[in-house]
Amino acid sequence: MANVKSAIKSIRQDFRKTARNRPVRSSLKTYVKNAVARISLGDAETSQEAVRIAISKLDKASQKGIIHKNQAARRKSRLAKKLNKQFAVAGQE
């Protein structure tokens, strides 16, 4: 346990920030997982909508500092890559 007053306050602040950010991070995982599931189903319209929502949520979390901007960019890139790959394969068939 911290002995310095500022360190004790810092621990309290971190606890509050963690409690506030945890549900947002959890919901981000859910949105991304739903988007990936929709992509694997192969329905173009619903998967594009799910990806659009997931990207929007990632951007919002990034703007608020809940996740790093590069992490948001990486996750968005991976989602877009999966979406494009699925429909490139679907378009060839």
Strand residues in the chain grouped as ranges (E): none
Q: Is the confidence at residue 92, as pLDDT, over 90?
A: no
Contact residues for 17 (Cβ-Cβ < 8 A; gap 6+): none
Residue 56 belongs to some domain of the structure = yes
Has residue 80 been placed in a domain?
A: yes
- Considering the domain boundaries, does residue 40 fall inside one? yes
Assigned domain for 7 exists: no
**Can you tell me the distance from the alpha carbon of 11 to that of 65, in angstroms, rounded to the nearest whole number?**
18
pLDDT, tens digit, 9 for 90 and up, residues 45-76: 999 999 999 999 999 999 999 999 999 999 99
Q: How many domains does the chain have?
A: 1
For residue 10, tell me if it sits in a domain.
no
**Residues, the chain, total?**
93
How much is the average pLDDT of 10-34?
Answer: 97
Within a domain: 39: yes
Domain that holds residue 43: 26-92
Q: Is 51 helix (H, G, I), strand (E, B) or coil?
A: helix
Q: What CATH number should be reported for the domain holding residue 56? A: 1.20.58.110
